[in-house]
Copies of this chain bind each other. A is one copy, B any other.
Amino acid sequence: MQDEPEVAVLRLGHRPGRDERTTTHVGLTARALGADRVVLEDVASGREETVVDITDRFGGPFDVEVTDSPLGTVRGWDGRVVHLTMYGLPVQDVEGEIREAHHDEPLLVVVGAEKVPFEVYERADWNVGVTSQPHSEIAALAVFLDRLFDGRELDREWADADQVVVPQESGKRVEDAREHRRES
């Protein structure tokens, strides 16, 4: 988020066909919950457009990057690396340490679709489990980011949006972003 060291999310192991929607969910969750950037493998480049389109309509800043060397992104990362895996240490035990480190350094958060190369486990500063149960890398990413930012991401401001959703008790209300600014 603005005025903080960068948080990037790297999506590993995308399987074309099978993982299209889940990779889109990873990208949109990264954006909505406070990350600054998502990095996709070239086989997942078809998902770039959806995330860019949502950013155009609902605001940013948020970047989508496509790489042909995701392990290169991990190896060359100038900061700390978190790998979300059900085999890692409990998030509730290590989140304080990670939050502390992120005050000073950029954070790369790696989420895999299926098998993640052993090198990622070794290079990660923290292998982190959101429970030790098999569930969803999207869910794990969401809980991790909400805890990393301590809920601040829910109040973040969006720049250059075309449209704004105005929270309602019931029903839907979407306003033109310029009109919305004028009224509020």
Chain A residues at the B interface, C-beta cutoff of 8 Å: 18-19, 21-22, 25, 28-29, 31-33, 54, 58, 86-92, 118, 121-122, 124, 127, 129-136, 138-143, 146-147, 151, 153-155, 158, 164-174
User: How far apart sit A153 and B147, CA to CA, in the bound complex (Å)?
Assistant: 14
Known: A134-B58, A154-B92. A171 touches B87 (CB 8 A): yes
**Least Cβ–Cβ distance between A168 and chain B, in angstroms:** 6
**Least Cβ–Cβ distance between A102 and chain B, in angstroms:** 19
* A32 x B139 contact (CB < 8 A): yes
**Least Cβ–Cβ distance between A173 and chain B, in angstroms:** 7
**Least Cβ–Cβ distance between A88 and chain B, in angstroms:** 6
**Least Cβ–Cβ distance between A156 and chain B, in angstroms:** 8
Query: 22 A-B residue contacts at CB 8 Å?
Result: A21-B22, A29-B135, A29-B136, A31-B135, A32-B131, A33-B131, A33-B139, A54-B133, A89-B169, A90-B167, A91-B154, A92-B151, A92-B154, A121-B170, A121-B171, A121-B172, A127-B169, A133-B158, A133-B165, A138-B142, A139-B139, A143-B146
* B33 x A135 contact (CB < 8 A): yes
User: How far apart sit A141 and B141, CA to CA, in the bound complex (Å)?
Assistant: 12
* B127 x A168 contact (CB < 8 A): yes
Q: Which residues of B contact A154 (CB under 8 A)?
A: 90-92, 130-131
* A136 x B127 contact (CB < 8 A): no
User: How far apart sit A174 and B87, CA to CA, in the bound complex (Å)?
Assistant: 8
Q: Which residues of B contact A58 (CB under 8 A)?
A: 133-134
Q: Which residues of B contact A136 (CB under 8 A)?
A: 25, 28-29, 138, 142
Task: Tell me the nearest residue of chain B to A147, going by C-beta.
Answer: B146
**Least Cβ–Cβ distance between A93 and chain B, in angstroms:** 8
